[in-house]
DNA sequence: CTAATAGTGTCTATCAGACATTATACT
DNA sequence: AGTATAATGTCTGATAGACACTATTAG
């Protein structure tokens, strides 16, 4: 019980980012090689300490997004994922980390940021399979982020954030298949996505090998009614 | 950009609790009257600073649950809700608050805790209607907690946490009606809840005015397959 | 018997999943 | 014509919502 002399403990706060994209039909996360101790040389999620005592958490997340990944956050979906504050999770002392989830369309290799010795995309499957080890408790955070993304695909228009400005329905379908890890019947998918009010709106056509595909762009709805339900066996 | 002399800013961390229960068929939240500045005399969510630099966040949440609400957290559903860290949200300085959501079955008036000058249940409708004002950004946190509870009722067995050890299907239905703010057809509700694998299991009978009701207790499943979908017009 | 509450049955419009066919381009 | 990809139609079993009846107790 605090007495009159007691003052609250002070802790350090970091912002960590789970940045997901699609590359070659696989779900990838952006990882950086740590340039300083602790865990120097190991892979970790991009992130870092608050700049100063007055920086907003969301602002700090956008700043790290730009610094470590070279991504302009303005057009990016960015959402709070959770807090990770188990004592001992960071050898430097008591560090509470606020995790954010960011979604980006397919991108080339990132320009290595100023802080990070090296930043690169890694398939989340490789991390889940234990092929890539992460510093701190970042594997836990990454798994939470991936699961959140999978769940959000059902109820929100998040999938369009994985695509470019415009996209075909097939491309949108490949997003769902990659993130959920399942195969979807194209005919039923066409019917369902077009039945969701305000999800996607037509925007011209695209030349391709074969019959030209209709192009769409994201509609006005953030929430999907009805939702696109994830099959039972999804990853 | 941090130079070699730079050290991360230190912030204070609080844990705040959204504790929900059902009283007289209405969704209520536990609020305390603040005994100290700032916001002395106003209503707020129960919560407080970390005890020390080594206290786990979840442990701190359980501690506050016991201290300020007199509730033993062992049997209680407790879940992280989010982080609230906007600069200026607390006049004492930079305070980052980790919010937790707790669900309790119907309880009598709480014994006022040691920290809180007074703790009492308030219908969340009164807060939403502006009849009760909360300190800090606690109204935002409360709203997030209520919305989370509503969403979780669809996909998890959370509703049973609002009931006692055993309950009738009618009682369970009243939980859904109160939290969602809608009326549900009892016949369809019976069919649906009994069709969900592992949601509820029979456990004797209950004497009542009229035909005795079958009693149930919570089943083993945490997640509901299929989910109980919330009607469109739910609050 | 009557009142009160618990529990079950049925009908129908809609929807999800399986599956085959037609359409439009390029070579 | 042949190939490749896009788009649409149909059938069927399951489900959600509307609705009416039977069952079991107390007084």
For chain B positions 133-152, those within 8 Å of chain A (CB to CB) are: none
Number of Cβ pairs < 8 A linking chain A and chain B? 91
Confidence of residue B76 (pLDDT cuts 50, 70, 90): confident
Give the mean pLDDT of B42-56. Answer: 94
Inter-residue contact B15 to B69 (CB < 8 Å): no
Q: Which residues of A touch B57 (CB under 8 A)?
A: 83, 85-86, 96
Average pLDDT over residues A10-30: 94
Q: What pLDDT score was predicted for residue B4? A: 66
Q: How far does CA B151 lie from the centroid of its chain?
A: 12
**Is residue B192 within 8 Å of residue B186, measured between CB atoms?**
no
In-domain check, residue A235: no
| pLDDT at B25 (0 to 100) | 87
Cβ-Cβ contacts under 8 Å for B203 (sequence gap 6 or more)? B166, B215, B216, B217
Mean pLDDT over residues A230-235, rounded?
74
> Quick one: closest CA in B to A85, which residue?
B57
Give the domain CATH number at A179.
Answer: 1.10.10.10
CB contacts of B81 in chain A (<8 Å) are none
Looking at the fold, whether B161 and B193 belong to one and the same domain comes out as yes
At B50-63, the pLDDT tens digits run 999 899 999 999 99
Q: How many Å apart are CA B116 and CA B39, to the nearest integer?
A: 13
Residue B146 to residue B19: CA distance in whole angstroms = 10
Tell me if A64 is assigned to some domain. yes
**Which of these three, B100, B119, B153, is where a domain ends?**
B153
- In tens, the pLDDT along A62-106 reads 999 888 877 776 667 789 999 999 999 999 999 999 999 998 887
Do residues B8 and B32 share a domain? yes
pLDDT tens digits, one per residue of B122-160: 999 999 999 999 999 999 999 999 999 999 999 999 999
B188 contacts chain A (CB < 8 A): no
* Cα-to-chain-centroid distance, residue A196: 24
Residue A188 has pLDDT above 90, yes or no: yes
- What CA–CA distances, in Å, run from A213 to A166, A191, A206, A210, B204? 11, 15, 5, 9, 61
Q: What is the mean pLDDT of residues A134-155?
A: 96
As a rounded value in angstroms, the CA-to-C1' distance for A166 and C25 is 20
Whether residues A139 and A162 fall in one domain: no
Using C1' positions and the CA of B190, the closest nucleotide is C7
Whether this prediction's pTM lies above 0.95 is answered by no
Assess if residue B231 is contained within a domain.
no
CA distance B79 to B64: 14
pLDDT band at B1 (very low <50, low <70, confident <90, very high): low
The answer to whether B209 CB is within 7 Å of strand C is: yes
C-alpha span between A204 and A214 (Å, rounded): 6
> In angstroms, how far is the first alpha carbon of chain B from the final one?
46
Full domain range(s) for residue A23: 3-153
Q: Is residue B40 part of a domain?
A: yes
Instruction: Please report the pLDDT score of residue A182 as a whole number.
Output: 93
pLDDT tier at B112 (50, 70, 90 boundaries)?
Answer: low
Residues A101 and A78 in one domain: yes
**Assigned domain for A58 exists:** yes
- At B180-193, the pLDDT tens digits run 999 999 999 999 99
Q: What are phi and psi of A105, to 5 degrees?
A: -70, 170
Contacts of A103 (CB under 8 A, 6+ apart): A19, A20, A21, A76, A77, A149, A158, A161, A162
B114 touching chain A per CB within 8 A: yes
Read off the pLDDT of residues B153-179 as tens digits, 9 standing for 90 and up.
999 999 999 999 999 999 999 999 999
Nearest nt to A202, CA vs C1'?
A: D7
Percentage helix, strand, coil for chain B under 3-state DSSP, each rounded to 5: 30, 30, 45
Nearest to B9 by CA among A51, A73, A191: A51
Do B140 and B214 lie in one domain? The reply is no
Considering the domain architecture, whether residues B65 and B162 belong to the same structural domain is answered as: no
Give the strand order in the sheet containing A200-206.
A166-167, A213-218, A200-206
pLDDT score recorded for residue B110: 65
Model confidence over B195-220: pLDDT tens digits?
999 999 999 999 888 999 999 999 99
Q: A202, A215 in Cβ contact below 8 A?
A: yes
A47 with A161, same domain: the answer is: no
Does any domain span residue A225?
Answer: no
Same domain, A9 and A35: yes
pLDDT for residue A207: 87
The count of other CB atoms within 10 Å of the CB of residue A140 is 15
Domain count, chain A: 2
Residues B90 and B142 in one domain: yes
The pLDDT, as a whole number, for residue B93 is 94
Domain edge (last residue) among B135, B153, B171: B153
Residue A233 within any structural domain of the chain: no
pLDDT for res B5: 76
Find, in chain A, the residue whose alpha carbon is nearest to that of B97.
A83
CB B13 within 8 Å of CB B94: no
Per-residue pLDDT band at B67 (split at 50, 70, 90) = confident
In CATH, what number is assigned to the domain containing residue B104? 3.90.79.10
What span, in angstroms and rounded, lies between the C-alpha atoms of A57 and B64? 25
Residue A225 has pLDDT above 70, yes or no: yes
Residues A95 and A169 in one domain: no
Q: DSSP class of residue A220? A: S
Q: Is residue B176 part of a domain?
A: yes
Asked whether residue A18 carries a pLDDT value surpassing 90, the answer given is yes
Domain boundary among A133, A153, A173: A153
The verdict on B109 and B196 lying in the same domain is no
Do residues A149 and A96 share a domain? yes
């Amino acid at each position: 019980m605090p007495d009159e002399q007691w003052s609250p403990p002070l802790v350090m706060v970091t912002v960590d980012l789970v940045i997901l994209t699609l590359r070659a039909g696989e779900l990838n996360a952006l990882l950086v090689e740590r340039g300083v101790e602790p865990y120097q040389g190991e892979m970790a999620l991009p992130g870092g300490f608050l700049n100063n005592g007055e920086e907003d958490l969301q602002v700090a997340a956008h700043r790290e997004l730009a610094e470590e990944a070279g991504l302009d956050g303005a057009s990016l979906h960015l959402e709070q994922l959770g807090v990770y504050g188990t004592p001992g999770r960071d050898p430097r002392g008591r560090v509470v980390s606020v995790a954010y989830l960011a979604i980006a369309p397919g991108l080339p290799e990132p320009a290595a940021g100023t802080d990070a010795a090296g930043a690169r995309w890694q398939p989340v499957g490789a991390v889940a399979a234990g092929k890539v080890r992460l510093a701190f408790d970042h594997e836990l955070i990454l798994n939470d982020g991936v699961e959140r993304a999978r769940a959000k695909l059902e109820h929100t228009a998040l999938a369009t954030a994985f695509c470019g400005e415009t996209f075909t329905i097939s491309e949108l379908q490949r997003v769902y298949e990659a993130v959920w890890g399942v195969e979807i019947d194209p005919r039923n998918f066409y019917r369902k996505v077009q039945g969701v009010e305000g999800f996607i709106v037509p925007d011209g056509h695209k030349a391709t090998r074969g019959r030209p595909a209709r192009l769409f762009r994201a509609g006005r709805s953030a929430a999907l009614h009805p939702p696109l339900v994830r099959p039972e066996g999804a990853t």
